[in-house]
Amino acid sequence: MVNKNTIIGFVGTGVMGKSMASNLQKAGYSIHVYTRTKAKADDLVKNGAEWKATVQELANDSDVIITMVGYPSDVEEIYFGSDGILENAKQGSFVIDMTTSKPSLAVKIYEKAKEKNIHALDAPVSGGDIGAKNGTLAIMIGGEQKAYESLLPIFQVMGENIILQGEAGAGQYTKLVNQIAIASNMIGVSEAIAFARKAGLKPEKVLDSISTGAAASYSLSKLAPRMLNDDFAPGFYIKHFIKDMTIALESAKELGLSTPGLELSLNLYKELAEKGEEDSGTQALIKLFEQYA
């Protein structure tokens, strides 16, 4: 059972991972940290986290291992192989992949972990940089009930809306549902702001009127103000949203489902990335609509 003596290894301290690890520190957990660019972990180390030079070393010395990296290929690399997590984690330990990745990869990790008496959950999140900083993320979990219950105190530090969705892979499928919903919504928010401007309205006042009605959404209330302030810093990178939408589109095709809204959003974001915006936040989509205006 997880307690304050539990040592948590955290792999990946980017825009969201750093805040998630920091919240675990503030809650009193001992943190081991590894990231490819050590400088990204400097603040955590200054606050008492122990730096580990390799994934193998981190896995050896941790009771719970959380991964929050960029792409499915990164997940593959850090979990498998002789120097990966699953070959080096202790029996009875827990691994939680919080990266948005492929459901099939989540199942692969779960099955390999089970062979080694390691408990695996897939637990992607939603809520962006703000949710990560405030510890209010939505956490969508796939795996066994017993492992979920054991790790719930850790999840409760990082998020508020925490739901076990089903067996291994269910967390990843749920996150893809989330990204499909956001994909078309971001088009709608961008079009709406462009329309308001073209009509000679004051977009800030328009948002005051519509953000609490039927049009309300996270994108409208949190990202639209950033659009209006020309704040395109990444709460969530465009390049990672493209990755998520690509996985979602592939999964939809495997399920025999047509997702035209997702396809349109993916194409627009790819166009934006080709214009040099891949490291901007997803709210930079407004730039395309301003260009079209």
Alpha helices (H) in the chain, listed in sequence order: 17-26, 42-46, 55-60, 72-79, 85-88, 103-115, 128-134, 145-158, 170-198, 203-210, 218, 224-228, 238-254, 260-272, 286-292
Is 20 in the same domain as 135? Answer: yes
Per-residue pLDDT, averaged over 247-276, amounts to 97
Kindly state whether residues 230 and 149 are assigned to the same domain. Answer: no
The answer to whether position 200 is within a domain reads yes
Position 292 scores a pLDDT of 67
Q: Which of left, alpha, beta for 69 (phi over 0: left; psi -120 to 50: alpha)?
A: beta
Give per-residue pLDDT as tens, 69-98: 999 999 999 999 899 999 999 999 999 999
Residue with the bigger pLDDT between 15 and 260: it is 260
Partnered with residue 247 across adjacent β-strands are none
Same domain, 78 and 201: no
Q: What is the DSSP letter of 34?
A: E
Per-residue pLDDT at 64 exceeds 80: yes
Q: What is the CATH number of the domain that holds 198?
A: 1.10.1040.10
Same domain for 15 and 155: yes
Contact present, 141 and 150 (Cβ < 8 Å): no
Query: Does residue 57 sit in the same domain as residue 188?
Result: no
CA 262 – CA 181 distance, rounded (Å): 8
Final residue belonging to a domain, choices 167, 195, 226: 167
pLDDT of residue 129: 87
When divided into structural domains, the chain yields a total of 2
Most distant CA atoms of the chain, gap in Å: 64
- The answer on pLDDT for 3 being more than 90 is no
Whole-prediction pTM = 0.93
pLDDT-derived band at 255 (thresholds 50, 70, 90) equals very high
DSSP at 213: S
Let me know whether 85 and 199 are in one domain.
no
Mean pLDDT (the chain) is 95
Q: What is the dihedral of CA 84, 33, 99, 272, to 10 degrees?
A: -110
Active site residues: 175
Among the candidates 167, 190, 211, a domain finishes at: 167
* DSSP single-letter state for residue 90: P
131 has pLDDT over 90:
yes
The answer on 222 and 197 residing in a single domain is yes
251 in any annotated domain: yes
CATH of the domain at 81: 3.40.50.720
Asked if residue 190 has pLDDT above 70, the reply is yes
Domain housing 68: 7-167
Check pLDDT > 90 for residue 240: yes
Whether 253 and 148 map to the same domain: the answer is no
Give a yes or no: residue 117 inside a domain.
yes
For range 50-63, the mean pLDDT: 96
Domain assignment of residue 1, yes or no: no
Residues 113 and 21 in one domain: yes
What's the distance, Cα to Cα, between the start and end of the chain in Å? Answer: 57
Q: Residue 44: its pLDDT value, please?
A: 95
pLDDT digits (tens, 9 = 90+) for 149-183: 999 999 999 999 999 999 999 999 999 999 999 99
* Per-residue pLDDT at 242: 97
pLDDT at 128: 86
Task: Tell me the two tokens of residue 158.
Answer: 């990082």
**Is the pLDDT at 235 greater than 90, yes or no?**
no
How high is the pLDDT of residue 9?
Answer: 97
Residue 293 has pLDDT above 80, yes or no: no
Are 152 and 190 members of one domain? no
What's the CA gap between 212 and 207, in Å, rounded? Answer: 9
| 17 contact partners, CB below 8 Å, separation of at least 6 | 10, 35, 68, 69, 98, 132
Q: Is residue 56 part of a domain?
A: yes
Are 202 and 99 part of one and the same domain?
Answer: no
**Average confidence (pLDDT) over 20-37:** 95
Q: What is the CB neighbour count within 10 angstroms for residue 143?
A: 28
Q: Is residue 144 part of a domain?
A: yes
What is the token pair recorded at 193? 């702001």
* Among candidate residues 133, 167, 201, the one where a domain is terminated: 167
| pLDDT surpassing 70 at residue 144 | yes
Same domain, residue pair 89 and 224: no
Residue 115, classed as helix, strand or coil, is: helix
Residue 208 contacts by C-beta under 8 Å, 6 or more apart in sequence?
none
In a domain, 207, yes or no: yes
Say if CB 269 and CB 238 are below 8 A apart: yes
